[in-house]
Homo-oligomer: A and B are copies of this chain.
């Protein structure tokens, strides 16, 4: 990154130098980090005021902006991608504006001291993969029961069945009771035996046929043999697909939350 001038670090730049560096970085769509003393105003559907203090400001190549304090994982102010960024000097102050349109929302950062400013281009093509937990897989299956099979209808989850709790309890398209045991990694023999114990308990108490389905991304070879010998079923359920299902459903919620409540 250094060789081709992809990184610029200015310690304690004066305001004019900072303005020059920032405008150069905005033009070249560089990512920017500033550490310094600032106050921040936000005006839009809501408004906020952050009194002076030392903070980290990140401005990304796509116009996203974050203001971070010394504590907590959440930014105190932020703007999403697509903002227009402006830097200017006003007396002894460096003013940075991040402007979002439709609806108009403006975050204005007033620096009176800059400890350092760095600009660079991040080369980043790496893929991100998120895999769900068993609880998340359960939620995804409850949202889309066809992940188990067509016509499957969940009735309950985490139902107490000795010796533990059944992940999902439901009926299949023929009205037979179905118990689903979920594993997020390779399902082994232990998972099969666990499922069998639930089924035995239920059969005894209900005096009915009960189907057992093991839902996991993959099943080990010996577990599959045991499963077949006990007359149970295996369904391949991909934790990644589950997390995508949840993400689609929950993205709306979180976007609504941020739209309505935080500053963008």
Contact = CB atoms under 8 A, between A and B. Distances in A.
Chain copies in the assembled complex? 2
A136 B123 CA distance: 40
Contact of A33 (B33, B72, B78, B253): B33
Given A58-B68, A139-B260, A53 B131 contact: no
Nearest to A242: B46
A158 to B, nearest CB: 14
Contacts of A115: 1-2, 7, 120
Interface string A46-70: 1111111111101011101110111
Contacts of A66: 68, 73
B7 A52 contact: no
Interface of A: 1-2, 7, 9, 11-12, 31, 33, 35, 37, 39, 44-56, 58, 60-62, 64-66, 68-73, 75-76, 78-81, 113, 115-116, 118, 120-133, 135-136, 139, 239, 243, 246-247, 250, 253-254, 257, 260-261, 263-264
